[in-house]
């Protein structure tokens, strides 16, 4: 029997992933672990930087009016969806990385980077970060967590992987398979799961395809 796919990412991405699953003939359990919200911020002097580092489409979606001051700076984006959001906001994307932020930064020539980031983030050496959005945990009852049994849970972030590991007790993990958006996210979920696989590509379509494969 094909397992349902549990979509844990925040809205509006949750709805998009669930629709992608439905289009592929799968069944989605929509259970966002976080709600993404804007954070008040002021854009620094753009002359102090050579480029922007954008690691999530949320930075462009929730950055607000302050983004306009930085519009002349080129963008290094992590993932195709992030690059697309930057272009839609009027920015010029010069690099689209297929791995994580650290790998992308390591491959760039020396430059002054401003990271438009979430409140919870991994510090990147030599990169200035400013918070433009936050992902706040949503309350989940026992019944909601128990609904994950027999599913394939999709993990789009390290933070989601860590929270899932807190929510699901070790004794219940053997009933859940995990599809993660990269090896670092898979590792963050810890041990004891029925099966864990990492997508080689940082995009939602690849993650859904992997999860559908695990569901069979």
Q: Read out DSSP for the chain?
A: -PPPEEE-SPTTHHHHHHHHHHHTT--EEE--SEEEEE-------GGG-SEEEE--HHHHHH-GGGGGGGTTS-EEEESHHHHHHHHHTT--EEEEESS-HHHHHHTSPS--EEEEEESS----TTEEEEEEEEEEEPP--HHHHHTTTTSEEEE-SHHHHHHHHHHS-GGGGGG-EEEESSHHHHHHT-S--SEEEE-SSSSHHHHHHHHHHHH-
Note the pLDDT of residue 122.
Answer: 86
Q: Where are the domains of the chain?
A: 5-33+138-215, 36-136
Does the fold of domain 36-136 match that of domain 5-33+138-215?
yes
Note the pLDDT of residue 23.
Answer: 97
Q: What is the pTM of this model?
A: 0.85
Note the pLDDT of residue 1.
Answer: 60
Note the pLDDT of residue 201.
Answer: 84
Which fold does the domain 36-136 belong to in CATH? Rossmann fold (3.40.50)
Note the pLDDT of residue 90.
Answer: 97
pLDDT in tens, the chain (216 residues): 699 999 999 999 999 999 999 999 999 999 999 999 999 999 999 999 999 999 999 999 999 999 999 999 999 999 888 999 999 999 999 999 877 899 999 999 999 999 999 999 989 999 999 999 999 999 999 999 999 999 999 999 999 999 999 999 999 999 999 999 989 899 999 999 999 999 988 889 999 999 999 999
Say which CATH architecture domain 5-33+138-215 belongs to.
3-Layer(aba) Sandwich (3.40)
């Amino acid at each position: 029997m094909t397992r349902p796919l549990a979509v844990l990412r925040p809205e509006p991405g949750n709805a998009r992933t669930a629709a992608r699953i439905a289009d592929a003939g799968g069944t989605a359990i929509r259970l966002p672990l976080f709600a993404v919200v804007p954070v008040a911020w002021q854009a620094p002097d753009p002359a102090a930087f050579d480029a922007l580092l954008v690691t999530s489409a949320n930075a462009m979606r929730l950055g607000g009016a302050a983004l306009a001051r930085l519009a002349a700076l080129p963008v290094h984006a992590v993932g195709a969806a992030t690059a697309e959001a930057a272009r839609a906001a009027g920015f010029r994307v010069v690099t689209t990385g297929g791995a994580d932020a650290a790998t992308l930064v390591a491959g760039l020539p020396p430059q002054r980077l401003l990271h438009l980031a979430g409140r919870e983030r991994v510090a990147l050496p030599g990169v200035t970060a400013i918070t433009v959005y936050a992902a706040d945990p949503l309350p989940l009852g026992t019944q909601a967590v128990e609904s994950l049994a027999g599913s394939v849970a999709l993990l789009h972030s390290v933070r989601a992987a860590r929270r899932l590991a807190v929510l699901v007790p070790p004794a219940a993990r053997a009933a859940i398979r995990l599809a993660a958006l990269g090896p670092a996210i898979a590792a963050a979920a810890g041990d004891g799961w029925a099966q864990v696989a990492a997508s080689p590509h940082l995009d939602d379509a690849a993650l859904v395809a992997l999860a559908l494969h695990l569901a069979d």
